[in-house]
Amino acid sequence: MSSLVKVKVPLSDWNFDKIYHFIEYMPFGFLVYRAIYCTKVNPNGKQILTLSLLISFCYGLSDEIHQYFVPGRTCSGIDLLADTIGGFIGAFIYFYWNKSVSY
């Protein structure tokens, strides 16, 4: 979607754009954490959270840079922040869920 020119999203008086970014990146962060957790390297949970945060940031940054070159789209630091926080929260949900579930 980031390459589409000016996609119209129905909005109310309040701009939900940042919430959409946050919600889109939550599953991404969840899956990034899970992918790292399931490797044979198996670092501890805090290391995986840090790496998930870094990966979410880098992926969000690449998306924002890409949007800079798409006509009608803009590059936004606030969007990047929402992406990164969403990715981190998704990773944290997996971290917390994984700690509470015993196999």
- Summarised one tens digit per residue, pLDDT across range 55-78 is 999 999 999 999 999 998 888 999
From residue 85, give the alpha-carbon distance in Å to each of 17, 27, 73: 14, 12, 22
Verdict on whether the full-model pTM lies above 0.85:
no
On whether the CB atoms of residues 80 and 22 are closer than 8 A, the answer is no
Token pair belonging to 86? 């969403």
**Backbone region of residue 76 per phi and psi (left: phi > 0; alpha: psi in -120 to 50; beta: other values):** beta
Q: Which residues touch 99 (CB under 8 Å, ≥6 apart)? A: 45
Domain regions of the chain by residue span: 17-98
- Summarised one tens digit per residue, pLDDT across range 36-59 is 998 877 778 889 999 999 999 999
